């Protein structure tokens, strides 16, 4: 249990997931009595078996075809997180369960070693922690990401990390060494410079100034850094677009990307509840602007549309981003090398047979 007023949660409750046949709501019926809301749940950590470490995709929206996620669920508690609906596959809520029922894959490094050692494996940049943050707070306790990174270093395998956590600085020396060989790059997501907003929206993630410091430290160590303005939220954070890009560039970010707010499945209801609770004066404007970007809907899941949107307003945001990117002299993302890869020793440490 690790609850305290200083570390709130992002979701306000634990709604049923989309596969449940029934849904429950708590209401005050007006009768006298104790109507105190239930206490927020504490963190619960559970192991999860994995037969494979690498997940493959064919999405045209992302610049990688493989990824590793050592954790499921994320304690950062970002209310907008597109990964929240994945907790429904575990018959859990994408609400508070996603932030408190956390799963880790203790065998992931061993499974990764097995996969990299398979005859015919062809290396390509691997995204580490793309679904939920590989450097969320439990990484400090479990060290799964560090073990995976050590194996990738051993095999000279290219890796790209996306995070909003300052904990990545723990592995700065390792990442700098890999980056010097063209094997590592990082992306840091930056959503707002407003501390009050980020505290409400991403309650257990690093503060904006701390993320900028992380960008600076990575960059000064020679690690190519992309700033991800992700998500950009219409009528809530879009006015900060140019300031976010300028602050990140000043801190040393080399390249930049932007992703429009995504509200798949249960995230739509969770985000709207959060929005009306914290920003009731702007909630309708935010939701209507999103509908403008998705042909009248809150979300369009089609490839090519889900991350950028369409229509006049989405085009305006894209144009603003492109103008700021050029003005600030942002460069294309770093190209990682795959030609240095060397297969790991077999699972039990024996040397490979000659010719294999």
- 280-308 average pLDDT score: 88
CA dist 219 to 4, 160, 184, 213, Å?
A: 34, 14, 12, 10
Q: What are 256's two structure tokens? A: 């930049």
pLDDT at 350 over 90: no
In this prediction, residues 310-338 reach a mean pLDDT of 96
Q: Three-state DSSP class for 242?
A: helix
Q: What token pair was written down for 115?
A: 């996969």
Would you say the C-alpha torsion 169, 170, 176, 179 has a positive or negative sign? negative
Record the tokens describing residue 332, joined without a space. Answer: 């294309």
Band the pLDDT of 130: cuts 50, 70, 90.
Answer: confident
Locate the domains of the chain by residue range. 44-327
Q: Whose structure tokens read 């009768």?
A: 31
Sign of CA pseudo-dihedral 208, 323, 253, 178:
positive
Rounded Cα distance, 338 and 50, in Å: 26
Question: Residue 324: enclosing H or E segment and its boundaries?
Answer: helix 312-327
Mean of the per-residue pLDDT values for the chain? 90
Architecture of the domain defined by 44-327: Alpha-Beta Horseshoe (3.80)
The answer to whether 10 and 202 have CB atoms below 8 angstroms apart is yes
Encode pLDDT of 236-275 as tens digits. 999 999 999 999 999 999 999 999 999 999 999 999 999 9
Distance, in Å, from the CA atom of 262 to the CA atom of 13, rounded to the nearest integer, reads 20
Q: Taken in order 287, 292, 294, 295, is the CA torsion positive or negative?
A: positive
**Is residue 352 predicted with pLDDT exceeding 80?**
no
* C-alpha separations of 170 from 89, 133, 339 in Å: 32, 15, 27
Distances from the Cα of 204 to the Cαs of 117, 136, 191, 214, 334, in angstroms?
37, 9, 14, 16, 29
Cβ within 8 Å of residue 91, ≥6 positions away:
17, 19
Q: Which of 18-32, 129-143, 172-186 has the lowest mean pLDDT?
A: 18-32
The pLDDT, as a whole number, for residue 317 is 97
Residue 268 to residue 310: CA distance in whole angstroms: 19
Give the pLDDT score at 356: 43
3-class secondary structure, 260:
strand
- Over the range 194-217, which residues count as b (16 or more CB within 10 Å of their CB) and which as e? eeebbebbbbbbbebeebbebbbb
Indicate the pTM of the whole model.
0.89
């Amino acid at each position: 249990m690790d609850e305290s007023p200083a570390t709130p949660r992002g979701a306000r409750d634990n709604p049923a997931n989309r596969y449940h046949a029934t849904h429950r709501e708590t209401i005050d019926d007006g009768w006298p009595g104790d109507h105190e809301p239930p206490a927020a749940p504490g963190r619960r950590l559970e192991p999860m078996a994995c037969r494979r470490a690498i997940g493959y995709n064919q999405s045209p929206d992302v610049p990688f075809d493989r990824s590793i996620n050592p954790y499921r669920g994320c304690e950062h508690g970002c209310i907008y997180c597109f990964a929240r609906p994945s907790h429904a596959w575990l018959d859990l809520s994408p609400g508070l369960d996603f932030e408190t029922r956390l799963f880790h894959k203790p065998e992931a490094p061993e499974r990764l070693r097995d996969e990299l050692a398979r005859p015919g494996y062809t290396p390509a940049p691997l995204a580490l922690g793309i679904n939920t943050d590989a450097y969320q707070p439990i990484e400090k306790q479990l060290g799964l990401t560090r073990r995976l990174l050590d194996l990738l270093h051993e095999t000279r395998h290219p890796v790209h990390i996306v995070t909003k956590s300052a904990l990545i600085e723990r592995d700065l020396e390792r990442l700098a060494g890999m980056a010097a060989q063209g094997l590592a790059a990082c992306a840091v997501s930056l959503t707002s410079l407003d501390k009050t907003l980020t505290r409400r929206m991403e309650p257990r993630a690093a503060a904006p100034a701390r993320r900028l410091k992380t960008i600076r430290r990575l960059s000064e160590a020679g690690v190519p850094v992309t700033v991800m303005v992700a998500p950009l939220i219409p009528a809530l954070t879009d006015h900060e677009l140019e300031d976010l890009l300028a602050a990140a560039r000043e801190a040393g970010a080399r390249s930049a990307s932007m992703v429009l707010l995504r509200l798949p499945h249960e995230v739509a209801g969770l985000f709207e509840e959060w929005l009306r609770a914290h920003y009731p004066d702007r909630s309708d404007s935010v939701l209507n602007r999103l509908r403008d970007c998705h042909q009248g809907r809150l979300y369009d899941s089609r490839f090519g549309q889900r991350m950028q949107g369409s229509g006049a307003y989405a085009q305006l945001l894209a144009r603003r981003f492109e103008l700021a990117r050029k003005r600030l002299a942002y460069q294309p993302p770093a190209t990682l090398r795959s030609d240095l890869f060397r297969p790991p020793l077999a699972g039990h440490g024996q040397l490979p047979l000659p010719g294999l």
